[in-house]
Structure 1
């Protein structure tokens, strides 16, 4: 027995029974082929009996035609010589012509009565077609040399007798109406002992032929019958073997399946419909049967389904708790950032007031400390402002709407006008499409990206920024904000999108490390993606995708 894995379910399969069933099926198929062949051979054997009987009948019919033609010639010539009716002479000649192949054989020749021809001339039969001599028909019949010799002798003797019969007709025709002696002599030529001996001589080889044909054809019929009987037994044996093998195949298949095919089909259908309940016991189905394996698989699937339902419910509870926690955190960040602004402004105001009133009146250390307080409170103000923007982006409930990316870039550039003039930055903006977004968020996205390019420009070369867009897959547009600034090393391409992450915290450029995190939140909210391509000192390109309007 082996175990086959079905999506984590171990299902027992019996290799030995499967191979045995396969062999049984092949055996049944081969025996069935032999059965069909034996049936065909048996039918052929039965046909051989029919052919043997047909040849037997044909042989006797041809011999009888020779005998009958001799009798018909005698009857026609005797009648003609006795009564002088020329129609009987014509019939005599017709018999000779048909036998010698000079005239077509009538269709009903085997049941033809020539002595009725004068009163029924239409019974002669058709006149078209090809005439065939009787001897040629005999050659085609497949007679042995000895049999054909007998018929040839009878035909030769009959042909020889026709000379006497023609002589008798000549005497009768030359005799006058008053010459009774000549007519009587003609009649005697057809009734004397010599004529009878000639007729007997004709019948003797025909009788011998019949005896020879009887022995040969009867032996052929018996031989064909014996062969057919043996073939019949072989056919019956193969039929019984096919029946037995079919029963054994059915029994083995049922043993492997553990039930009927209908039961297996119903069980698979129930499993497919999600019914994993188990019916019966493995013993009643066979511990290694397909049905037992299906029940085992159903039991495991049922357990997995119950576990999945439990895990799904647990995951749902945790997701809901996480969503509540995230909502609470966002609310806390918003409230904290908002509420911190007022006391922080007071700190900045009073610190600046102290700086103005007491600068120079205290020692140099005090002036330096006051400067530190002012700078850091300004930084903290900027950080709180960025946190509020990030919180607003997270809490935003406005649905996306069609808006112009070009207009958003213009607004962002207008907001950054002073920084651009200070840094002498050239900005190149290509044709930009309309996209699905919130206008204020789209402006914030471009303003953060453009602001980063301005802040991190290279001091040793004239700065420029390029904004472009091209169609992407599934109705999206791929935007690119490129610059020739200081660049970002590859190992930091993902890190720059994390909150509060700055690659050079001690740099002179202002920033809180929230800008790119905010950009990613905005792009993801609208169903897009954002990534960076850059190298140190090689400039930076930020790519992102948004759905077209």
Structure 2
């Protein structure tokens, strides 16, 4: 194959060189014909016309003696000089043409000296006598005519020879390019046949095997045929098939293991559900009994107990109540994404209003002013989003500053494919060093006596937001209170509403 390619390239190189020479030769001869031969013949004719005009003017002056008949002679002399200058420039490199021109000029000069100038120099009727004395000037001017005819015949022959050379060169050029075209067609046919045998057919076979593998026949081997490159490609495809078979076997084993783990997870979830039931009923029942009997003991035997005993009973009742609250909060935290998991379109405006109705008592007691931007509709679980609003708004009201009236604002803005919400208050705020700590379970920044709670609220908020595909964080740059920012995926439709003031949770007038 390499020998064939090299031979073809050598033939094309030779033909290309000959073709380039033929093109250059054709252009050179054509330029010479157009730029030298034809103009030289034209100038020779003009030179003849200028000499004929001179002879006509001299003869007319000699016969009439009138000076106006010398006008053709005067113009002919000027035309002769111009034609001679152009002819010398055109035939300067050709000795024969220069010799012809010199012969014409010598004979013209002889006629000028013997006839033309003496007649022109004579006055009136004397010009006729001078002309008759020169025999009418016919003999010398016939010699000029003869040399002009020889010059034009030679120039015509040279022009015809150049035209023949141009025709021969054009035939050579056409033949060379025809040969080049034939060689190219032959090479194209050979290349096509070679590609069909060496590339197309092996590729079709390789493609057929690959399609069978793609259809699920993973055990079918890939045959390696054709040139070395295609054999290497087939080998790579075969290696990929073998690796795919290995990965399928591994995936099958992994799927079996995953099914076993899923069954184990279902069993574990069932046990977790049972534990949740026990925690919500059986574990809370002893706590209710402890609190009830302690209170009954205090009422029945209160007169016989000292102040320390009353204090101890109060501690026991408070501990039991806090344990109940903690268990309920832990149960609510565990149910996020497990029990409440009904994704549907949720009107956040309506959910927030319901939340504000639920929190109406602490809101009214604190005198908090709660406002919000128009809230959109999102896809999510209504119960969990209600828990999210309740925890964020209640925290904003609970952690209020003692020297000012609580003010809470809920903002919402579209940011590409998500809605960005912010709950901003003017309370005691959260230090930058605690912006991550507050989202951990049971993490409290204040004593229980100062601000009651279990420390689960913001952890539950993070779990709810992340379950819905969003993020939540505390804005560390906000001053004069706290700002909790979270995102939820957008549904693609904007929902504009009226801003409300939520001391009562109803639209502001």
What TM-score do you get using the length of structure 1 for normalisation?
0.53
Q: 1:204 to 1:505 in 2, by over 3 A?
A: same
Q: 1:45 to 1:386 in 2, by over 3 A?
A: same
CA contact (8 A) 2:442 2:456 kept: yes
348, 354, 371: which one aligns with 1:430: 371
353, 362, 377: which one aligns with 1:416: 362
**How far has the Cα of 1:207 moved from its partner?**
7.5
Q: SS state of the match for residue 470, structure 1?
A: strand
480, 504, 512: which one aligns with 2:454: 512
Q: Which residue of structure 1 aligns with residue 411 of structure 2?
A: 470
Deviations 1:472-518, CA, capped at 9 Å, x for gaps: 2146252213242263452x423332334445677664333322222
**How far has the Cα of 1:64 moved from its partner?**
8.6
Partner Cα distance (2:343, 2:151) in 1: 119
1:445 aligned to 2:391? no
Where in structure 1 are there 5+ consecutive unaligned residues? 1-29, 78-88, 90-95, 103-131, 164-188
Q: Which residue of structure 2 aligns with residue 152 of structure 1?
A: 105
Q: 1:499 to 1:212 in 2, by over 3 A?
A: same
Q: SS state of the match for residue 41, structure 1?
A: helix
Q: Which residue of structure 2 aligns with residue 46 of structure 1?
A: 29
Partner Cα distance (2:144, 2:48) in 1: 12
Q: Which residue of structure 2 aligns with residue 384 of structure 1?
A: 327
Q: 1:381 to 1:537 in 2, by over 3 A?
A: farther
Q: 1:31 to 1:440 in 2, by over 3 A?
A: farther
Q: SS state of the match for residue 487, structure 1?
A: coil
Q: SS state of the match for residue 344, structure 2?
A: coil
Q: 1:495 to 1:371 in 2, by over 3 A?
A: same
CA contact (8 A) 1:404 1:433 kept: no
CA contact (8 A) 1:469 1:477 kept: no
Q: 1:443 to 1:204 in 2, by over 3 A?
A: closer
Partner Cα distance (1:506, 1:61) in 2: 127
Q: SS state of the match for residue 468, structure 1?
A: strand
Q: 1:414 to 1:42 in 2, by over 3 A?
A: same
Q: SS state of the match for residue 485, structure 1?
A: coil
Q: 1:539 to 1:317 in 2, by over 3 A?
A: farther
CA contact (8 A) 1:98 1:133 kept: no
Q: 1:42 to 1:221 in 2, by over 3 A?
A: closer
Where in structure 2 are there 5+ consecutive unaligned residues? 1-12, 64-69, 93-97, 118-131, 496-509
471, 474, 487: which one aligns with 1:529: 471
Q: Which residue of structure 2 aligns with residue 18 of structure 1?
A: none
Matching of residues 26-37 of structure 1 within 5 Å: none
Q: 1:206 to 1:543 in 2, by over 3 A?
A: closer
395, 416, 425: which one aligns with 1:482: 425
**How far has the Cα of 1:375 moved from its partner?**
3.3
CA contact (8 A) 1:531 1:543 kept: yes
CA contact (8 A) 1:412 1:446 kept: no
Q: SS state of the match for residue 359, structure 2?
A: helix
**How far has the Cα of 1:382 moved from its partner?**
1.1
**How far has the Cα of 1:194 moved from its partner?**
11
Q: 1:510 to 1:57 in 2, by over 3 A?
A: same
Q: 1:358 to 1:194 in 2, by over 3 A?
A: closer
Q: How many residues align?
A: 424
Deviations 1:203-226, CA, capped at 9 Å, x for gaps: 6645875798699x59x969x969
483, 486, 503: which one aligns with 1:544: 486
Partner Cα distance (2:459, 2:267) in 1: 20
Q: SS state of the match for residue 328, structure 2?
A: helix
**How far has the Cα of 1:468 moved from its partner?**
1.4
Deviations 1:261-280, CA, capped at 9 Å, x for gaps: 9969x97xx89x97999855
1:401 aligned to 2:346? yes
Q: 1:356 to 1:529 in 2, by over 3 A?
A: same
**How far has the Cα of 1:429 moved from its partner?**
1.6
Q: 1:358 to 1:195 in 2, by over 3 A?
A: closer
Partner Cα distance (2:264, 2:20) in 1: 77
417, 438, 448: which one aligns with 1:496: 438
Deviations 1:237-293, CA, capped at 9 Å, x for gaps: 9x98xx89xx8xx99xx99xx9579969x97xx89x9799985538x433xx4x566
1:336 aligned to 2:278? yes
Q: SS state of the match for residue 453, structure 2?
A: coil
